[in-house]
Structure formats: C-alpha cells, structure tokens
Amino acid sequence: MKKNMGTADRAIRILIAAIVVALYFGNVISGTIAIALLAVSAIFILTSFLGFCPLYMVFGIRTTKSTDNK
C-alpha cells in the first residue's frame, strides 16, 4: 500500500474528525446524522494515520509530494 495522502491532507482530515467529535460530545449533533458523521470521522482518522485513502487510488488522486512512497 503506497501512501497517497500528503501532510496537509492528513491534518485537515484529523481536524474535521476532531470537530465532529466535539460537536457530538457538546450535544450539538445527535441521532442518525451524528452516528453517520462519527463513522466518517473514524474513517478519516484511520486513513490519516495510514497515509492511504482507497478512494484516492480509485480516482487517481495523489496529494503526497514525494516520489518515494512506502
């Protein structure tokens, strides 16, 4: 699995996930939409730590700058 996410992309995903979690625990969002957003947030966190997004691979997107991806 080659990394296809750059540092900025990974940081933005983590920030979005943190905002969603804060909104959930602040009781701003609730119900089905909250569960769906938390699931997306979990995916954002996972892909950020791995540095790999399967959808980027499908669409041919690459936000990493280096050519030596491990």
pLDDT for 46 = 97
pLDDT at 49 over 60: yes
**Has residue 42 been placed in a domain?**
yes
Domain that holds residue 16: 7-59
Prediction pTM value: 0.85
* pLDDT tops 60 at residue 24: yes
Residue 70 scores a pLDDT above 60: no
Question: Is residue 27 assigned to a domain?
Answer: yes
pLDDT of residue 1: 81
Q: Which residues fall within 8 angstroms of residue 44, CB to CB, at 6 or more apart?
A: 13, 14, 16, 17
Residue 51 resides in a domain: yes
Residue 34 lies in a domain: yes
Structure token pair of residue 11: 């940081």
In a domain, 67, yes or no: no
The answer to whether position 49 is within a domain reads yes
Number of domains in the chain: 1
Question: Would 65 be classed as within a structural domain?
Answer: no
